[in-house]
Amino acid sequence: MSRVDFYHLQKQSPEEVLPVLLNKAYAAGCKICLKTISEERVTYWNGYLWTYNDESFLPHGSKKDGFTEKQPIFLTAENENANHASFLFLVDGAEIEPTKCADFERVFNLFDGHSNDALAQARRLWKAYKEAGLEIFYWQQNDSGKWEQKG
């Protein structure tokens, strides 16, 4: 059974949270797929992950970069698991159908807690994933910035 983790972002932006989570997953030896909503956002994240930290390196690429199946972190706007990833990260409002979650060991849904649309989408996905029998976890940052599991 796949596990889905919802990350309710209120104190930090996706640009601050995503590299930390990707680093942890990559350090654990997991192949990763990062799904966003458009090719423009793929280009954005591709550039950002090269420049977010002068002292860190996250090997990644998209279809434009080639070697799709060999990418440790594959960036896409499509419903695909081209690099045979075990972890899927959803950003910018990207979605995956509950039945497609089975293609991944874990799914991480990062959403903007300040956006009513993002909150509504997260609630809709939570309900759909729960009805599909997926294992679901909800994470929110406390006042000191640490992630706490909620209800």
pLDDT > 90: what percent of the chain? 82
What global pTM score does this model have?
0.95
Average pLDDT value over all residues in the chain: 94
Is 3.40.120.10 the CATH classification of the domain at 3-150? no
pLDDT > 70: what percent of the chain? 99
Q: What 3-state DSSP class applies to 117?
A: helix
Q: State residue 100's pLDDT score.
A: 95
Distance CA 108, CA 64 (A): 24
pLDDT confidence of 151, banded at 50, 70, 90?
Answer: low
| Per-residue pLDDT tens digits for 7-44 | 999 889 999 999 999 999 999 999 999 999 999 999 99
Q: Does the structure show a pLDDT above 80 at 122?
A: yes
Q: Does the structure show a pLDDT above 80 at 1?
A: no
Which helix (H) or strand (E) element contains residue 33?
strand 32-35
Residue 149 forms beta bridges with which residues?
A: 139
Q: Encoding tokens for residue 19? A: 């590299």
Q: State residue 142's pLDDT score.
A: 83
More confident residue, 54 or 17: 17
CB atoms within 10 A of CB 64: 11
Q: Does the structure show a pLDDT above 80 at 130?
A: yes
Distance CA 140, CA 149 (A): 7
End-to-end alpha carbon distance in the chain:
20
The dihedral through the CA atoms of 15, 21, 27, 33 has a sign that is negative
Least Cα distance to 9 among 150, 151, 147, 149 occurs for 147
Per-residue pLDDT averaged across 56-72, rounded? 90
Domain boundaries, the chain: 3-150
